[in-house]
């Protein structure tokens, strides 16, 4: 049995969850975790609201509310969105909790006691009108890399480049709209340059302190490429504290009116959430974060690569007791109808809106987002494609096969599994193919190729449809009862395999198939057998797994988006 700590990027509690978030980090993580649990591995799935940083205070100022009002509202909404889509976290925590503040402060003090930080005074942007230093997200200007004129002081949301505020051209304060002045302030800096050598060895070769701890061949090229670019360009010192009044207070002398940088604070949220979960489950959190036998997998979007592959590993290693990520399978961006998803322009599909408009189609959204997952490059969601994949794949292939097999079994064998008589060579080929799908799909999931795994699942349903169409048991029944029994038995075994293999991707569909078959399964390996349903086992009446989505319904969504 393997042990995993799987994390999904903590979403900012300053707005609702949209489909880009789901496709980027949360659905791939959930598929991976569900699969590992079916393999009977020990997995803890960690997430929660990131409730500090300038993004929260910006939203609060915009809505004339306190930061706590904002985080309470969106923590609750986002938690519900995840639950509705069956993203099944072990715990969904909050970085505003007392335990998290204590954990982050202890971490900071540990690093400070080891002289990890450099404390220095620098000149930073200051808004005279509001009489405060400007955190990175309080500054917007023109990106020096791509020319996008609404880039933030820490990152350009257009090209994804990480920035520092002073790199922006024509900087403006987002609070007043004025050009900020430069003023001196003191902060704690993480000198990343001294970590370049071991980071390069760890990322590119999987070696840390002469030990092989991961296989770089399993890391995505886009992740390795971005890390290599950063390291080859020379890592610069980065401030780990900010002049803000909202966040985790700096717990050392001189830290008054300062908080921890959100990208120091937030990843530690994975650790504090694990502590909380472990206490609830009567387990040791250290077994997951400090054991070399545990695999740490961080699921994120590409805009978070530098933080999870460079900054977070540095502070984990500098602490001296924690494991480093085994893999960081970051996805690229999901676009919408040919354009970038934009929360400010409301060019997005919010999960709670989708659920209201399509209350019975959570698995359809999971299916479509996985099938177009931006695993190696940006991809595009369109409503017409959503409709086509539902109608032509889920309804016509998967749903149609299951329905036909159940209808025929109820019609000709009174809803009881027929026995398998003498099998032909053709039958043996089909049975052998069925038994191969679990390994193929499992290998795809283990290599973070979730689209590939999903296509293989549909291929199994295609195989069943083809076998059923060629054998024509509705005609064969009058000519050869024994042969018809064998054909339907094999088809029912395929339906059972589909119930197991669909669980990571389509958990509600898996559950529906199990209820129709009047059965359950223990593990992933059940699907490798081709005799799970025994003769005379009673099944239920057929129920449609999916329904056709009309042109009118899709046009409503297109009009709504426009």
Does residue 489 sit in the same domain as residue 421?
A: yes
Q: Bridge partners of 45?
A: 6
Q: What is the DSSP letter of 398?
A: I
Does residue 291 sit in the same domain as residue 398?
A: no
Q: At which of 292, 311, 331 does a domain end?
A: 331
* Threshold 0.75, pTM exceeds: yes
Number of H helices, E strands in the chain: 21, 17
Does residue 264 sit in the same domain as residue 405?
A: no
Tokens 């985080």 sit on residue: 71
Torsion of CA 96, 98, 103, 105, to 10 degrees: 80
Tokens 């999931």 sit on residue: 445
CATH of the domain at 388: 1.10.730.10
Smallest Cα–Cα separation from 39: which of 442, 423, 315, 547?
A: 442
Kindly report the CA angle at 48 between 4 and 499, in degrees rounded to 5? 55
Q: What is the DSSP letter of 153?
A: S
Is the separation of the CB atoms in 244 and 57 below 8 Å? yes
Element (H, E) at 510: helix 507-517
Q: What is the pLDDT of residue 4?
A: 98
Does residue 103 sit in the same domain as residue 222?
A: yes
**Looking at the domain assignment, is residue 159 inside a domain?**
no
Q: At which of 269, 301, 331 does a domain end?
A: 331
The set of residues, in sequence order, having a beta carbon less than 8 Å from that of 184 and lying 6+ positions away, is 121, 122, 123, 124
Q: What is the DSSP letter of 298?
A: E
Does residue 56 sit in the same domain as residue 201?
A: yes
- Residue numbers of the domain that contains 112: 3-117+191-331
Does residue 301 sit in the same domain as residue 411?
A: no
Does residue 323 sit in the same domain as residue 448?
A: no
**Looking at the domain assignment, is residue 389 inside a domain?**
yes
Does residue 292 sit in the same domain as residue 399?
A: no
CATH of the domain at 289: 3.40.50.620
**Looking at the domain assignment, is residue 559 inside a domain?**
no
Helices 221-232 and 196-205: crossing angle in degrees, nearest 10, is 160
Q: What is the pLDDT of residue 366?
A: 98
In a structure prediction context, what are the per-residue pLDDT tens digits for the chain, which is 562 residues long?
999 999 999 999 999 999 999 999 999 999 999 999 999 999 999 999 999 987 788 788 888 999 999 999 999 999 999 999 999 999 999 999 999 999 999 999 999 999 999 999 988 899 988 788 887 878 999 999 999 998 988 888 788 787 888 899 999 998 889 999 999 999 999 999 999 999 999 999 999 988 999 999 999 999 999 999 999 999 999 999 998 889 999 999 999 989 999 989 999 999 999 999 999 999 999 999 999 999 999 999 999 999 999 999 999 999 998 999 999 999 999 999 999 998 878 899 999 999 999 999 999 999 999 999 999 999 999 999 999 999 999 999 999 999 999 999 999 999 999 999 888 999 999 999 999 999 999 999 999 999 999 999 999 999 999 999 999 999 888 888 899 999 999 999 999 999 999 999 999 999 999 999 999 999 999 999 999 999 999 999 999 999 999 999 999 999 999 8
**Looking at the domain assignment, is residue 149 inside a domain?**
no
Does residue 322 sit in the same domain as residue 397?
A: no
Total of domains in the chain: 2
Smallest Cα–Cα separation from 363: which of 80, 35, 87, 25?
A: 87
**Looking at the domain assignment, is residue 156 inside a domain?**
no
**Looking at the domain assignment, is residue 348 inside a domain?**
no
Q: At which of 331, 354, 374 does a domain end?
A: 331
Kindly report the CA angle at 112 between 273 and 154, in degrees rounded to 5? 65
Q: What is the pLDDT of residue 417?
A: 97
Does residue 97 sit in the same domain as residue 205?
A: yes
Does residue 464 sit in the same domain as residue 316?
A: no
Is the separation of the CB atoms in 315 and 190 below 8 Å? yes
Three-state secondary structure readout of 248-293:
CECCCCCCCCCEECHHHHHHHHHHHHHHHHHHHHCCCCHHHHCCCC
Does residue 407 sit in the same domain as residue 486?
A: yes
């Amino acid at each position: 049995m393997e042990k995993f700590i799987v994390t999904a990027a903590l979403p900012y509690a300053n707005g609702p969850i949209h489909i880009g978030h789901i496709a980027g980090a949360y659905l791939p993580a959930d598929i991976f975790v569900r699969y590992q649990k079916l393999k009977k591995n020990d997995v803890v799935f960690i997430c929660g609201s990131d409730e500090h940083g300038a993004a929260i205070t910006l939203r609060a100022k915009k809505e004339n509310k306190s930061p706590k009002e904002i985080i309470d509202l969106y923590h609750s909404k986002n938690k519900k969105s995840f639950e509705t889509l069956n993203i099944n976290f072990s715990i969904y925590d909050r970085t505003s909790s007392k335990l998290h503040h204590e954990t982050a402060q202890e971490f900071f003090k540990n690093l400070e006691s080891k002289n990890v930080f450099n404390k220095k005074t620098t000149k930073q942007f200051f808004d005279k009108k509001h009489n405060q230093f400007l955190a990175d997200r309080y500054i917007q200007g023109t990106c020096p890399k791509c020319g996008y004129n609404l880039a933030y002081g820490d990152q350009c949301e257009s090209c994804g480049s990480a920035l520092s505020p002073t790199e922006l051209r024509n900087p403006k304060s987002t609070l007043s709209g004025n050009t900020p002045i430069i003023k001196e302030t003191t902060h704690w800096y993480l000198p990343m340059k001294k970590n370049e050598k071991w980071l390069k060895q760890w990322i590119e070769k999987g070696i840390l302190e002469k030990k092989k701890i991961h296989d770089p061949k399993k890391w995505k090229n886009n992740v390795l490429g971005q890390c290599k670019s950063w390291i080859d360009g020379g890592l610069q010192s980065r401030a780990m504290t900010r002049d803000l009044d909202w966040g985790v207070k700096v717990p050392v002398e001189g830290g008054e009116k300062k908080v921890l940088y959100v990208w120091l604070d937030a990843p530690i949220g994975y650790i504090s959430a694990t502590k909380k979960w472990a206490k609830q489950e009567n387990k040791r959190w250290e077994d997951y974060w400090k054991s070399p036998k545990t695999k740490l997998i961080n699921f994120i979007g590409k805009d978070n690569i530098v933080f999870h592959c460079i900054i977070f590993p540095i502070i984990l290693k500098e602490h001296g007791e924690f494991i480093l990520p085994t893999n960081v399978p970051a996805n690229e961006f999901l676009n919408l109808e040919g354009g970038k998803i934009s929360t400010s322009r409301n060019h997005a599909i919010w999960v709670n809106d989708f659920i209201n408009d399509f209350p019975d189609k959570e698995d359809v959204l999971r299916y479509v987002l996985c099938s177009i997952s931006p695993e190696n490059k940006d991809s595009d969601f369109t409503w017409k494609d959503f409709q086509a994949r539902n109608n032509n794949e889920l309804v016509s292939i998967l749903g149609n096969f299951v329905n036909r097999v159940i209808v025929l079994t109820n019609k000709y064998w009174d809803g009881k599994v027929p026995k398998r008589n003498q099998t032909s060579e053709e039958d043996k080929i089909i049975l052998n193919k069925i038994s191969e799908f679990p390994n193929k799909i499992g290998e795809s999931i283990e290599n973070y190729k979730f689209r590939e795994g999903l296509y293989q699942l549909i291929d199994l349903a295609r195989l069943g449809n083809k076998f059923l169409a060629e054998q024509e048991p509705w005609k064969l029944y009058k000519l050869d009862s024994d042969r018809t029994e064998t054909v339907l038995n094999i088809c029912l075994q395929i339906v059972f395999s589909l119930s197991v293999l669909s669980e990571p991707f389509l958990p509600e569909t898996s559950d529906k198939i199990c209820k129709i078959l009047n059965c359950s399964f223990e593990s992933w390996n059940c699907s490798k057998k081709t005799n799970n349903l025994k003769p005379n086992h009673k099944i239920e009446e057929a129920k449609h797994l999916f329904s056709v989505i009309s042109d009118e319904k899709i046009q409503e969504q297109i009009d709504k988006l426009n």
